[in-house]
A and B are shown apart, each in its own frame.
Chain A
Amino acid sequence: TAGITQAPTSQILAAGRSMTLRCTQDMRHNAMYWYRQDLGLGLRLIHYSNTAGTTGKGEVPDGYSVSRANTDDFPLTLASAVPSQTSVYFCASSEGTGAPHTFGSGTRLTVV
């Protein structure tokens, strides 16, 4: 089934450790996004990429980095995790900017 694959599904991470959340899409969408979802808050954009080779900062970028080496992959890295990064992370893609998103199933991250 075409769509977005995120890995891992869930993870418990010790504070101070680094981690990369993986995201792969097979729809050849130009734009990709990383959001975090916290209870009672809307999805908040962390980083985005309008096309392969470019990235940009979203609403809450601090403590996260991304890369977009090719069209399909958009990994999110936490260099030194802190408890406030405990959240559910969703990767999404769209045909272009301003187009509806297709979302992955999410990664539930707990930083202890």
Chain B
Amino acid sequence: GESVGLHLPTLSVQEGDNSIINCAYSNSASDYFIWYKQESGKGPQFIIDIRSNMDKRQGQRVTVLLNKTVKHLSLQIAATQPGDSAVYFCAENIPNFNKFYFGSGTKLNVKP
């Protein structure tokens, strides 16, 4: 999972396996969450989002799960591919502030 510090947590998976990346968010009032993917030398890219009135949302090969009870968000990537290697981080939006707060990220390494 994500944490604040000098080194990013790293998840190494074999190509073809499923990946699960976790995020603990900070504010129980947050009502909208986004997962971003950031490849080396590039800006973050939107992957999938979920609102607080849902607990699961599926995209193409990706699923986001939201557990509001423990303020936890996860991103599941099915059949992980080498192109999935990147840093993944979550962002939470707090109502009335209309700004996103970003986690520090998890680095995903996909081994061929």
Contacts and interface: CB of A to CB of B under 8 A. Distances in A.
Interface residues of A, number: 23
B104 A100 contact: no
Given A42-B102, A45-B99, A48-B99, A101 B46 contact: yes
B49 A103 contact: no
A34 to B, nearest CB: 12
Contact of B100 (A40, A101, A105): A101
A90 interface: yes
Contacts, number: 56
A43 B32 contact: no
A53 interface: no
Nearest to B100: A101
Nearest to A48: B99
Contacts of B41: 105-106
A58 interface: yes
Interface residues of B, number: 26
B101 A42 contact: yes
A100 B8 contact: no
Which secondary structure dominates where chain A touches chain B? Answer: loop
A41 interface: yes
Given A40-B5, A97-B98, A103 B45 contact: yes
A98 B4 contact: no
Given A101-B46, A103-B43, A104-B43, A42 B104 contact: yes
B19 to A, nearest CB: 20
A104 B79 CA distance: 29
Nearest to B105: A42
Nearest to B48: A100
Contact of B43 (A39, A44, A90, A97): A90
10 contacts: A39-B7, A40-B5, A42-B2, A42-B102, A58-B99, A92-B43, A97-B99, A98-B95, A98-B98, A105-B43
Given A4-B43, A103-B44, A103-B45, 15 more contacts: A40-B5, A41-B104, A42-B89, A42-B104, A43-B44, A43-B102, A44-B102, A45-B99, A58-B99, A98-B95, A98-B98, A104-B43, A105-B42, A105-B43, A106-B42
